[in-house]
Amino acid sequence: MPRADSTATAPSPPPAETSHATTGTESDPGVSQEVTDDMAAIEAELSAAPVEEVIANHCYGLFQLAAIHLGHQPPNLPSARLAIDAFGALVEGLDGRLGSAEGTLRDGLAQLRLAFVQISAAANAQANEAVADPPAT
């Protein structure tokens, strides 16, 4: 296993899907200086933020994504399940490492899981009712 030292550099990002993409602060003639400066500022802000806060923010995004899919009429249960599972993988997989937001994230995960079960049951009951009592023609 290679030894970590203070001169190690961050790994390069994976190659972009298109040849026109830039990474970091590289120059691209198709990108304005304003966009390049904005991206550099965002990168600096992100690198200064505590990692647990950045991850917690991504978890909040997954919470919202799941809630949106559960709120559709009819609910999009496969998409909601995927978002809930991803949210759970982060929260449970990083147990004890998410800082002050961890309790809130765990509560949100429990609420989403409960809502999913309730909405799934209601959707199944409605589907079974429609099959058992088809509309008169």
Rounded alpha-carbon distances, angstroms, from residue 57 to 26, 42, 106: 27, 15, 14
Q: Of the candidates 51, 49, 115, which has an alpha carbon nearest to the alpha carbon of residue 80?
A: 115
pLDDT in tens, 83-130: 999 999 999 999 999 999 999 999 999 999 999 999 999 999 988 887
Please name the residues in contact with 105: beta carbons below 8 A apart, sequence gap of 6 or more: 56, 59, 60, 63, 87, 91, 98
pTM above 0.75, yes or no: no
Q: Which has more confidence, 107 or 6?
A: 107
What does the pLDDT read at residue 21? 44
Position 136 pLDDT exceeds 50: yes
Rounded alpha-carbon distances, angstroms, from residue 13 to 10, 24, 49, 96, 127: 9, 9, 19, 28, 47
